Chain A
Amino acid sequence: MDKKTMVILMADDDKDDQLLARDAMIEGHVTNELHFVNDGVELLQYLRGEGEFAGNNPWPSLILLDLNMPRKDGREALAEIKSDPKLRRIPVVILTTSKTEEDMLRGYDLGAASYLTKPVTFQGLVELMKALGKYWVEFVEIPMPNDH
């Protein structure tokens, strides 16, 4: 598959962060498609093609997951994804403001691929997006949903 068409799905309730992430990707010349969902409930609906996302849910190669979200937070959503045989192979990178050790350990325990804290400066965010693009898009081999 064409690596450039790989879709990245970002679950974050913060519209500012969504905007900044998009800007940072553009600034960092990461050209992949970036989709957004606003909480854990939407995330799972998207992945399962339910509700408003039916037919409008390109399969993501990577999920950027915020931990603190309304309705269903990142921890619950992650647990659900990792317990779903259809979804559990999607790499989930936690991108959060929380620096607490407890959150990090729990994130890895639940099966997160990486644990990242949101950089304070925009430049930092650009670097992070570049690195993510380089690693997850260029180097990492990711199974597609029809792979068994």
Chain B
Amino acid sequence: MPHRNKPKFFRGWAIIIIVLVGFLAINATQSYRALSELVENENDANLTKSVLRTIKDLYSSVQEAELGLRGFFLTGAESYLGPYYFALSTIDENLIEMRNYDFQIPEQIDNTKRLELVILERLQEAGSHILQKQADPDSYRISSEKMRQSYDSMAELGEVIRTMEELEYDLLERQSERAHRSRQNLLYTIVIANSVGLLLVILVAYLIRKALKTQLLEAEHLEMLVHQRTEELEHYSNELQRSNRELQDFAFVASHDLQEPLRKIRAFGDRLKSVYAGKLGDGEDYIDRMQSAASRMSRLIEDLLEFSRVSTRAKPFGPVDLNQVMNVVLDNLEIKIQERNAQVTATKLPIIDADESQMHQLFQNLIGNAIKFTQPDIQPQISIECQVYETVKLGELENTVYEIKVKDNGIGFDEKYIEKIFTPFQRLHGRDKYEGTGIGLAICRRIVERHQGTIEVDSIPGEGSTFTLYLNSRTKDQLVGTEISPFTEGTPNG
């Protein structure tokens, strides 16, 4: 069965998807890290570049100051001191900048201090030389010793600057390498992320397709199953109808053919009695008993035939006025009603969709029973009442279920026998007390069931019985309009 390994199948795919999604999450973290590294690296690189610029500025300012100084000393012209002082202020700014830098290379802090020291020393000395030269412009000369010192300090300065620059350039290179690496990483990460994403989309699409396909297959399978079941049911129903028909044929043929030998028994019994009248002695009583048994059997067969005729002789349904049916039935029972001095009252009855002759049989049996099972000293009172039980709407058609009660004040019976009285040939009383084979109510139930109704009974011994019929104004066949009841031989009207 395909739906049995479905959970397993989907669990496998779920694991794959979870792994892919996890991979994507890791990838996203990676790319975030790479990106922020790149940003950080750029900040670092900017700092390094700024440091390099400041160092350059500082160096050029110092050189400018030196140039101005030398010009002043060589010419004595004060005008050279202008650029010198300007350079001083720039140097000052640059030194402040240098001090404030957050160096990535710890040595640079020492280098900066050394640079500051050399520059300040040099400026201090230069300052004192300027003052002396201004005091004595014509004769003041800087000693060659001092000159050499100034050269040395400049050289030292240059060296510190170079060292610092080299360090910063190295750093810049490293940073650039790192940036390159980060970019490369980022690139890989993005490629991988996209690939995995694409894979995931393809996978999900594949899974959806597969699920849809499975669903389609499942639906097809289900449809096939339904079809199969329907066929089975149809087959079963046909089989049932066939066996039902066979059983009815059997009952009909059996009761028919059984009558033949019985007829002979009775006829030859009659012959025996008439031809040998007066010569038989006690034998005549035996013949009477034999005849009576044969006649009873004949009755039983007749009734069995009647019972089977409910379906074998069924006629198509048509509108039947139950008031007319009741009139005919009461006419038929007229003599018995008068004999028992029975009082029969009937309310208005409906017109329903039914087999008319079977409705006659139904009410004749029920009212006949009510007249038959009376109490000796009480006037039989029989009432037939009808009311609407419910109305069911089915599309445009409407079906009314009527509740028809046939009530008597007869001998009644114990309700534990309810099932028994509706069973063929089940009797509650001895033959000598009440005649009949016990088929009447069985036929009633069969008729009612053929009409898709129900029959119920309430009874109290010594007080009477009430038979309640629930009959449809329209049978289901008519409402559905297609199926023909397996018991009807023709098509229902409408």
Binding site for B on A (CB under 8 A): 14, 16, 20, 23, 27, 97-98, 118, 120-123, 125
Option from A23, A118, A120 in Cβ contact (under 8 Å) with B271: A23
Residue B267 lies at the interface, judged by CB distance under 8 Å to chain A:
yes
Interface band, chain B? 10 to 19
21 inter-chain pairs at a CB distance below 8 angstroms, sorted by A residue, are: A14-B260, A16-B267, A20-B264, A20-B268, A20-B271, A23-B271, A97-B256, A97-B259, A97-B260, A98-B256, A118-B263, A120-B267, A120-B298, A121-B267, A121-B270, A122-B266, A122-B268, A122-B271, A122-B274, A123-B270, A125-B267
Q: Shortest CB–CB separation between residue A22 and chain B, in angstroms?
A: 11
The complex places the Cα of A123 from the Cα of B268 at a distance, in Å, of 11
Option from B256, B260, B266 in Cβ contact (under 8 Å) with A121: B266
Q: Shortest CB–CB separation between residue A119 and chain B, in angstroms?
A: 8
- Chain A hits for B274, CB < 8 A: 27, 122
Total A-B pairs, Cβ < 8 A: 31
Measured CB to CB, the nearest residue on chain B to A98 is: B256
Q: Shortest CB–CB separation between residue B271 and chain A, in angstroms?
A: 6
Q: Shortest CB–CB separation between residue A38 and chain B, in angstroms?
A: 16
- Chain B hits for A20, CB < 8 A: 264, 267-268, 271
Asked whether B260 lies within 8 Å of A122 as measured between CB atoms, the reply is no
Binding site for A on B (CB under 8 A): 256, 259-260, 263-264, 266-268, 270-271, 274, 298
- Chain B hits for A120, CB < 8 A: 263, 266-267, 298
Q: Shortest CB–CB separation between residue B13 and chain A, in angstroms?
A: 71
- Chain A hits for B298, CB < 8 A: 120
The complex places the Cα of A20 from the Cα of B272 at a distance, in Å, of 12
The complex places the Cα of A27 from the Cα of B256 at a distance, in Å, of 28
Measured CB to CB, the nearest residue on chain B to A120 is: B263
3 closest Cβ pairs, A-B complex: A122-B270, A122-B267, A16-B264
Q: Shortest CB–CB separation between residue A120 and chain B, in angstroms?
A: 5
- Chain B hits for A14, CB < 8 A: 260
- Chain B hits for A125, CB < 8 A: 267
- Chain A hits for B256, CB < 8 A: 97-98
- Chain A hits for B266, CB < 8 A: 120-122
The complex places the Cα of A97 from the Cα of B274 at a distance, in Å, of 24
- Chain A hits for B267, CB < 8 A: 16, 20, 120-122, 125
The complex places the Cα of A115 from the Cα of B274 at a distance, in Å, of 28
Option from B263, B268, B270, B271 in Cβ contact (under 8 Å) with A97: B263
Measured CB to CB, the nearest residue on chain B to A101 is: B313
Measured CB to CB, the nearest residue on chain B to A17 is: B264
The complex places the Cα of A98 from the Cα of B259 at a distance, in Å, of 10
Q: Shortest CB–CB separation between residue B260 and chain A, in angstroms?
A: 6
Measured CB to CB, the nearest residue on chain A to B257 is: A97
The complex places the Cα of A125 from the Cα of B269 at a distance, in Å, of 13
Q: Identify the interface centre among B256, B267, B271, B274: most chain A CB within 10 Å of its CB.
A: B267
Measured CB to CB, the nearest residue on chain A to B252 is: A100
The complex places the Cα of A105 from the Cα of B2 at a distance, in Å, of 63
Q: Shortest CB–CB separation between residue B263 and chain A, in angstroms?
A: 5
